Amino acid sequence: MRFIKTNFKDLFIIKHNLYTDDRGYFKETFKKEKLEKLFDKKINFCQQNSVKSKKNVLRGLHFQKDPNGQSKLISVEQGKILDIAVDIRKDSETYGRYFSYILSQENHESLFIPKGFAHGYLTISETVLINYTVDNYYSPKNEMGISYDDKFLKIDWGVDHNRLIISKKDKKYEPFKW
């Protein structure tokens, strides 16, 4: 397992070691001690979520406001997504900017997104299976979001917006507020 820095503080791409043989493969997707050493603080993942989506499904941009802010570890088990993380930490040098990255079953990578980011993704394969782990429990009353087509962020989803499949809830999110 190798951690690759991005231009966003504490947001890392994780390259997993893949061990293959005639049966298939094995990989570690999370090792608590390595993450804690990297951040020099405790990481206490408490909830694992799995999502299946079809092509052109856009989920997000979601976040939990304090005290329920969440760090996320995103991994794709099948398919391919365009993953987006928007820095909403007001004291950050990258506040108001977004990070985009392709996660897929082929690249065997994960994305660690720290608290203080809104998160979303677009399914770019026929189907996708995603696992993500969070370090704080979901709280409906603290759930927030940012509009996927925000005029300030100008996220390039790579697909005509008319082809996107978006939930009613995600369509109602307001623009990014400075």
Just list the catalytic residues. 62, 132
Tally of CB atoms within 10 A around 161: 10
For 70, the 3-state DSSP assignment is: coil
Cα 6–chain centre separation: 14
Q: Answer yes or no: are the C-beta atoms of 163 and 73 closer than 8 Å.
A: no
Q: Which residues of 138-151 are buried (b: 16+ CB within 10 A; e: fewer)?
A: eeeebeebbbbbbe
